[in-house]
Amino acid sequence: MRIAILEDEPAEAALVQHILTGAGHNCTLYDTGTQLIDALGSRRFDLLVLDWMLPDMTGHDVVNWVRSHLSAQVLVLFLSNRALEENIVLALMAGGDDYMIKPARRAELLARVHALSRRLPAQESEAAPPSDDKLEVGAYRFNRILKQASLHGKAIELKPKEFDIAFALFRNVGGIVSREQLTEEVWGRDLVMTSRTLDTHMSNVRSKLALKPENQVKLTTIYTLGYRLDCLDGEAA
């Protein structure tokens, strides 16, 4: 999808852009409502991700302009610090299609964006949403529905959580996947687990998938942050 991100906090804007572009979406950043409204005069977006509080106006003001000036269907997802029920209701009543509370969490954000994308007619989207169930990176193949992984056509036996960790790493080739992100995606955000549990699973994934230069990949532990998987030939299918 073509997505406009309206966020005046640089760190949050970069995070949201990283998550969405990593999933195959085309994202453009704006840090004021005026900039976005000016752009909407000549550019078409499928989805607007809007902060509520902005330097020059509110997200409510932006939605009012969008709903009164644009004839094409434009989806709106609010991403805000405002967590009270009345804030959420106000945003949805103002014309928002969905509401998410900061900070952006990768799995939740992608799930909400994917759900919103179903409302778009096929011709409205620049390209079909990328498949979330199959991955091909170099000689590696993954099928999330069947929980199957292979290398050079040979099946690799992975336990369910090992598969989920591997899928998260290969889905984010070249980017850092934090320990918190892996814990949330694989075990769920409310589960209390020891750091050793993740370390053990990660060691198994590294070994079973043979993540080494001979297979054109390299898994690096980024101290205090997480992990980064790189394709050494620079290509990801």
Provide the CATH number for the domain around residue 90: 3.40.50.2300
Question: What local confidence, expressed as pLDDT, does residue 215 receive?
Answer: 93
User: Residue 129: inside a domain, yes or no?
Assistant: no
Question: What local confidence, expressed as pLDDT, does residue 193 receive?
Answer: 55
Residue 141 and residue 120 share a domain: no
Question: What local confidence, expressed as pLDDT, does residue 50 receive?
Answer: 94
Which residues span the domain enclosing 220? Answer: 134-231
Question: What local confidence, expressed as pLDDT, does residue 192 receive?
Answer: 52
What gap in Å lies between CA 181 and CA 13, rounded to an integer?
18
- Average pLDDT per run of 10 along the chain, which is 237 residues long? 91 90 87 92 90 89 89 85 85 88 88 84 45 80 91 94 92 81 73 72 95 92 82 58
Residues facing 150 on adjacent strands: 141, 155
Residue 169 and residue 118 share a domain: no
Contacts of 138 (CB under 8 A, 6+ apart): 215, 216, 217, 231, 233, 235, 236, 237
Question: What local confidence, expressed as pLDDT, does residue 125 receive?
Answer: 40
What gap in Å lies between CA 137 and CA 191, rounded to an integer?
30
Provide the CATH number for the domain around residue 217: 1.10.10.10
Residue 83 and residue 13 share a domain: yes
Q: Which amino acid is at 86?
A: E
Question: What local confidence, expressed as pLDDT, does residue 103 receive?
Answer: 87
User: Residue 30: inside a domain, yes or no?
Assistant: yes
For the chain, how many structural domains are there in total?
2
Residue 151 and residue 94 share a domain: no
The residue with tokens 């096929």 is: 122
Which among 180, 183, 169, 156 is positioned nearest to 217, based on CA atoms?
A: 169
The pTM for the full model equals 0.53
Residue 174 and residue 112 share a domain: no
Burial profile 178-210: b = 16 or more Cβ within 10 angstroms, e = fewer: ebebbbbbbbeeeeeeeeeebeebbebbbebbe
User: Residue 237: inside a domain, yes or no?
Assistant: no
Domain boundary among 80, 102, 124: 124
Q: In the 8-state DSSP scheme, what is residue 50? A: E
Domain boundary among 96, 124, 152: 124
Which among 98, 40, 36 is positioned nearest to 70, based on CA atoms?
A: 40
Question: What local confidence, expressed as pLDDT, does residue 122 receive?
Answer: 53
Going from the C-alpha of 198 to that of each of 4, 19, 124, 195, the distances in angstroms are 35, 22, 41, 6
Question: What local confidence, expressed as pLDDT, does residue 140 receive?
Answer: 94
Query: Could you tell me the two tokens for 33?
Result: 């409502």
Going from the C-alpha of 196 to that of each of 178, 183, 193, the distances in angstroms are 15, 12, 8
User: Residue 236: inside a domain, yes or no?
Assistant: no
Residue 108 and residue 168 share a domain: no
Domain boundary among 64, 95, 124: 124
User: Residue 208: inside a domain, yes or no?
Assistant: yes
